[in-house]
Amino acid sequence: MFLRRKKGTKPAHYKTLVSIINDKGFKSLSDYELKQQISDYKERYSKYLHNSNENFNTRDSQQFINEYLTKCYAITKEICRRVLGLDPYDSQLLTGIALYFGKIAELPTGEGKTLAAVFPAVLNALSGKGAHILTFNDYLAKRDAQWMKDIYEFWGLKAAYIQEDMDRLQRRNSYLADITYVTPKEAGFDYLRDSIVYDKDEIVHRPFNSVIVDEADAILIDEARTPLVLAGSMGMQHEIDKGLLELAGLLRRNIDYMTDENSRNVYLTETGAAVVENFLGCGNLYNKKNVEILTDINNLLHAKVLLKQDIDYIIKDGRIEIIDEFTGRVAERRKWDYGLQRSLEALKGIKSTSSNRILGKITIQNFISLYPEMSGMTATAKSSEDEFRSTYKHDVYVVQPNKKCIRTDYDDYIYTHKEAKYKAVVEEVLTSHNQGRPVLIGTSNIRESEKLAYMLKQQGIECEVLNAKNDTEEAKIIALAGKLGAVTVSTNMAGRGVDIKLGGDSPEERKKVSELGGLYVIGTNRNECVRIDNQLRGRAGRQGDPGSSRFFISLEDDLLVQFGIKKVIPVKYCGFRQLERINDKKLLSLIYHIQRVVNGQNFEIRKTLGKYSYLLEWQRRRFMKSRFEVLSCNVPGFLAIEKKELYKELCSKYGKERVDEIQRKVSLHCMDEVWYDFLEYLENIKEGINLVSAGRKDPVDEFNKLSINKFEQLQEDINEKILNTLDNIDFSMDASQLADRGLQTPSATWTYIINDSIKVKNFTLFSRL
């Protein structure tokens, strides 16, 4: 998108670089001598950067790679040995090299990616501009920074991390470190908060330099479209009309409204539209003047029909809490888009909490593209190679594990219905458990986890259920999933990044567990994305350990039902129930096919969503650039240009400094106000436009057209607002009086995450095979 990429060395040559690194003999040096090598290296490196004018291509040149990259990596390798007692494998060096060259590196779970990332992080950080490593959660940010910090320290580099509960000062200090471990959410929210300050000193980030994204598939694909939102408290917003609420209750399924076959969308039928028009007497519902009503009705229907209590959300302490579909946990501080949240609250008779205003918003994907250099690593990248290439223009580079993976991935067992499936899972767990073999069961949501745990308990099997409220607790539990006799039930994303050692830390137990076949991973559902299934399988068989995996699925599973399996399976399976599994290879390949189709469809949806934000991203950069200029006092104030006489007069009366300062504050205030209006305008048209233009025009085009028009007016609106405000301002006011009038960084702000709200039209997927 907006990224610079290094082209330098071809992947075919990475292995040659590894041999060069391994041939550099630093082993025999004393610590003192090694440190001398380091200071010598740093001195030469800074001269090199200086002489080459810090041209970007410099660090990409053959000379740089031969002299600096290989030496830096060789020294770092020796440091690892000394301070961590770990001798980096060639696979880790290869990963580290691929990361330096901007690849998405694939290396299986448990192969030591944390350590591999240190190599490029050191090299990137040596330029003095900071290097970020994005981790999957706060727990891992802290763990990895603390774990690796001695290696950086040996280089004279400082590593730090960010946690959600840190204050501004702590954050700034962490960003000032050479290497910062942080989640994309925290870094993104900090960026948003930075963009509303009134004083340059309040900014916590440094200019973005390089970033390495851990669990890159989860962050760059699964969560990439998630918008981070910064909001501030404002007055109450309009309430949903009581009449509409009543009306929503009257509308009849399959008559007044339909859901599409995947239950992703709900639509009013023509009959339904007529019912609404009669009821409200509003004339043609699809007229532009009725956009708001249409949007409200649609949101109400969506909330009523598609959102399920205890699956999509729970109600706790009179509040709606969203359940994350991946982790099955309550997604703290997350809300749906404004309209949907408000509709659900109205339906449930809950007092509306959404009286806030959007002060800034950015998707994780767009945030990451602010870094001039990006690379990523994960255990599962190859199967999403196309998406990495098309969305980010980054190639996947697959690294072979240090020891060959000997895990056996069995074909799925298929059952006709869910109960038969769960029964079989319990029997399978029982068999393994009786031998003492550890089992890890991956489910698709909390409910399923709890149901299975209950069924297992009835069979006398005690198990750990991963629905911990915090990642630290979760990590402790999952780390023990490889112990003798352990049974762990977990949603399929929980515990990412945590190492599962066979037998825990006991070598004797490790031996026993290995003889039993290692960890057995059971999946109770196929995910919409095969990559996530692979991620689950990968929990077994780390570093050449024995292990196996199998999915148990049923024809009633959500994935298959939602995507209309009934229409495509052989008729003999329709409505048929049996306890034994179905042994049918053709059926199995049909199911794999459905999974691929769904996967492709989700990719298309993400692409469409990306189109909506592309333009806004460009607009945001333009706006932020001019805001930063005003913040840095680089532009003369409006009065100085437009009303020279008045300006002179004010200056002689109050002093130039004060007049300029007030002008600056007023300008920032007005710019922000107009910008917030712009963001809200886009939110509104985004919801409305899809409904109004459905079927006629391309909604993305329509959206962009309106957005461009509005953006072109922005500067004018801002200027007008500034002049108006300046006309009415009393230049004798002191700082606190100005603050009372809102001329300061908003103090009550909070952050949350929403699910992107665009409803994407579905396409027909398959005909009967």
C-alpha span between 586 and 98 (Å, rounded) = 40
Out of 112, 485, 518, 541, point to the residue binding ligand ADP (CB under 6 A): 112
Query: DSSP 3-state assignment of 374?
Result: strand
86 belongs to the binding site for ligand ADP (CB under 6 A) = yes
Binding partner of 111, given Mg ion, ligand ADP, none, CB within 5-8 angstroms per partner class: ligand ADP
With a CB cutoff of 8 Å and minimum separation 6, the contacts of 724 are none
The helix or strand, by DSSP H or E, that contains position 116, with its residue range, turns out to be helix 113-125
Out of 109, 210, 488, 491, point to the residue binding ligand ADP (CB under 6 A): 109
- The stretch near ligand ADP (CB under 6 A) out of 105-113, 232-240, 418-426, 522-530 is 105-113
- The stretch near ligand ADP (CB under 6 A) out of 85-93, 224-232, 238-246, 455-463 is 85-93
- Considering the complex, state which of residue 543 and residue 562 has its C-beta at the smaller distance from ligand ADP: 543
Size of the chain in residues: 769
Q: H-type helices in 364-470, by residue range?
A: 364-368, 385-387, 418-435, 446-458
438 belongs to the binding site for ligand ADP (CB under 6 A) = no
Out of 45, 68, 73, 89, point to the residue binding ligand ADP (CB under 6 A): 89
The answer to the question of whether 111 is labelled as a binding residue is: yes
Is residue 439 left, alpha or beta, with left meaning phi > 0 and alpha meaning psi from -120 to 50?
beta
Out of 96, 102, 110, 503, point to the residue binding ligand ADP (CB under 6 A): 110
Residue whose C-alpha is closest to residue 520's, from 426, 429, 405, 424 = 429
The answer to the question of whether 499 is labelled as a binding residue is: yes
Binding partner of 115, given Mg ion, ligand ADP, none, CB within 5-8 angstroms per partner class: ligand ADP
Q: H-type helices in 281-393, by residue range?
A: 291-301, 338-347, 364-368, 385-387
Give residues 480-499 in contact with ligand ADP (rule: CB under 6 A). 499
538 belongs to the binding site for Mg ion (CB under 5 A) = no
Closest-by-Cβ residue to ligand ADP is: 112
114 belongs to the binding site for ligand ADP (CB under 6 A) = yes
Give residues 94-153 in contact with Mg ion (rule: CB under 5 A). 113
Closest-by-Cβ residue to Mg ion is: 497
CB of 140 to Mg ion, least distance (A): 7
CB of 506 to ligand ADP, least distance (A): 15
Yes or no: say if 396 and 382 are a contact pair by the CB < 8 Å rule.
yes
Yes or no: say if 518 and 379 are a contact pair by the CB < 8 Å rule.
no
- Considering the complex, state which of residue 24 and residue 417 has its C-beta at the smaller distance from ligand ADP: 24
The answer to the question of whether 114 is labelled as a binding residue is: yes
Binding partner of 88, given ligand ADP, Mg ion, none, CB within 5-8 angstroms per partner class: ligand ADP
- The stretch near ligand ADP (CB under 6 A) out of 102-110, 335-343, 574-582, 624-632 is 102-110
183 belongs to the binding site for ligand ADP (CB under 6 A) = no
- The stretch near ligand ADP (CB under 6 A) out of 108-116, 335-343, 661-669, 712-720 is 108-116
C-alpha distances in Å from residue 521, one per residue of 400, 425, 488: 22, 11, 10
Is residue 328 left, alpha or beta, with left meaning phi > 0 and alpha meaning psi from -120 to 50?
left
With a CB cutoff of 8 Å and minimum separation 6, the contacts of 508 are none
CB of 543 to ligand ADP, least distance (A): 7
The answer to the question of whether 156 is labelled as a binding residue is: no
Yes or no: say if 129 and 207 are a contact pair by the CB < 8 Å rule.
yes
Tell me the number of residues near ligand ADP by CB under 6 A. 14
The answer to the question of whether 260 is labelled as a binding residue is: no
Out of 75, 115, 220, 399, point to the residue binding ligand ADP (CB under 6 A): 115
CB atoms within 10 A of CB 216: 30
CB atoms within 10 A of CB 735: 13
188 belongs to the binding site for Mg ion (CB under 5 A) = no
C-alpha span between 764 and 281 (Å, rounded) = 35
- The stretch near ligand ADP (CB under 6 A) out of 17-25, 88-96, 307-315, 561-569 is 88-96
C-alpha span between 600 and 578 (Å, rounded) = 32
- Considering the complex, state which of residue 89 and residue 119 has its C-beta at the smaller distance from ligand ADP: 89
Binding partner of 376, given ligand ADP, Mg ion, none, CB within 5-8 angstroms per partner class: none
C-alpha span between 412 and 536 (Å, rounded) = 14
Q: Is the sign of the CA dihedral 2, 3, 4, 5 positive or negative?
A: negative
Question: Which amino acid, one-letter code, is at 250?
Answer: L
Yes or no: say if 500 and 539 are a contact pair by the CB < 8 Å rule.
yes
C-alpha span between 126 and 130 (Å, rounded) = 8
- The stretch near ligand ADP (CB under 6 A) out of 82-90, 296-304, 555-563, 663-671 is 82-90
CB of 107 to ligand ADP, least distance (A): 6
CB atoms within 10 A of CB 57: 12
CB of 115 to ligand ADP, least distance (A): 5
135 belongs to the binding site for ligand ADP (CB under 6 A) = no
Binding partner of 110, given Mg ion, ligand ADP, none, CB within 5-8 angstroms per partner class: ligand ADP
C-alpha span between 535 and 393 (Å, rounded) = 23
Residue 665 bridge partners (DSSP): none
CB atoms within 10 A of CB 662: 24
CB of 479 to ligand ADP, least distance (A): 10
CB of 135 to ligand ADP, least distance (A): 10
- The stretch near ligand ADP (CB under 6 A) out of 86-94, 272-280, 352-360, 673-681 is 86-94
- Considering the complex, state which of residue 88 and residue 637 has its C-beta at the smaller distance from ligand ADP: 88
C-alpha span between 408 and 35 (Å, rounded) = 46
- Considering the complex, state which of residue 103 and residue 113 has its C-beta at the smaller distance from Mg ion: 113
Pairs from 29-38 (Cβ < 8 Å, separation ≥ 24): 29/78, 31/82, 34/75, 34/78, 34/79, 34/82, 34/154, 35/154, 37/75, 38/75, 38/154, 38/155, 38/156
Tell me the number of residues near Mg ion by CB under 5 A. 2
CB of 728 to Mg ion, least distance (A): 57
- Considering the complex, state which of residue 502 and residue 670 has its C-beta at the smaller distance from ligand ADP: 502
Per-residue mark of binding to Mg ion, 463-502 (x: CB under 5 A): ----------------------------------x-----
Binding residues for Mg ion, per CB under 5 A? 113, 497
Task: Detail the residues annotated as belonging to a binding site for ATP.
Answer: 92, 110-114, 499
Binding residues for ligand ADP, per CB under 6 A? 86-89, 92, 107, 109-115, 499
Task: Detail the residues annotated as belonging to a binding site.
Answer: 92, 110-114, 499
